[in-house]
Amino acid sequence: MGDILTALLAVVLGPLATFGFYILLNFLVNLFPTRVGNVLRPYVFIGPVLVLIGAMLVYPTLQTVMFAFMNADSSEWVGFQNFTKLFADPNFGSTLFNNVLWVAVVPAVTVILGIAIATLTDRLGAFRERVFKSIIFMPMAISFIAASSIWRLNYQWDAGDTQIGMLNAIVKAFGGTPISWMQTETFSLNSLLIMVVVIWSNAGFSMTLLSAAIKAVPEETVEAASIDGANAWQSFFRVVLPQIRVTAVSVFITVLISTMKIFDVIWGMTGGNFHTNVLGVDFFLEYFVYNNTGKASAVVVLLMLAIIPIMIYQIRTYRKQEELR
Strands (E), 172-237: none
Cα–Cα distances (Å) from 265 to 9, 18, 70, 164, 276, in that order, read: 29, 33, 30, 21, 11
CA 138 – CA 140 distance, rounded (Å): 5
- pTM here is 0.85
pLDDT at 175: 84
pLDDT at 321: 66
CA 2 – CA 319 distance, rounded (Å): 45
Amino acid type, 72: A
CA 208 – CA 202 distance, rounded (Å): 10
Q: Which residues pair with 77 in a beta bridge?
A: 70
pLDDT at 173: 86
Task: State whether the Cα torsion 269-272-273-274 is positive or negative.
Answer: positive
Q: Which residues pair with 70 in a beta bridge?
A: 77
Query: Was domain 81-324 assigned CATH 1.10.3720.10?
Result: yes
Query: Inter-axis angle of helices 90-121 and 126-137, to 10 degrees?
Result: 170
Name the residue among 208, 307, 201 with its Cα closest to residue 248: 208
CA 109 – CA 1 distance, rounded (Å): 41
For the chain (length 325 residues), average pLDDT per consecutive 10? 79 87 90 88 89 91 94 92 92 91 95 93 84 90 89 86 84 87 85 94 93 90 85 87 88 92 92 91 92 94 90 79 64
Domain ranges of the chain: 2-67, 81-324
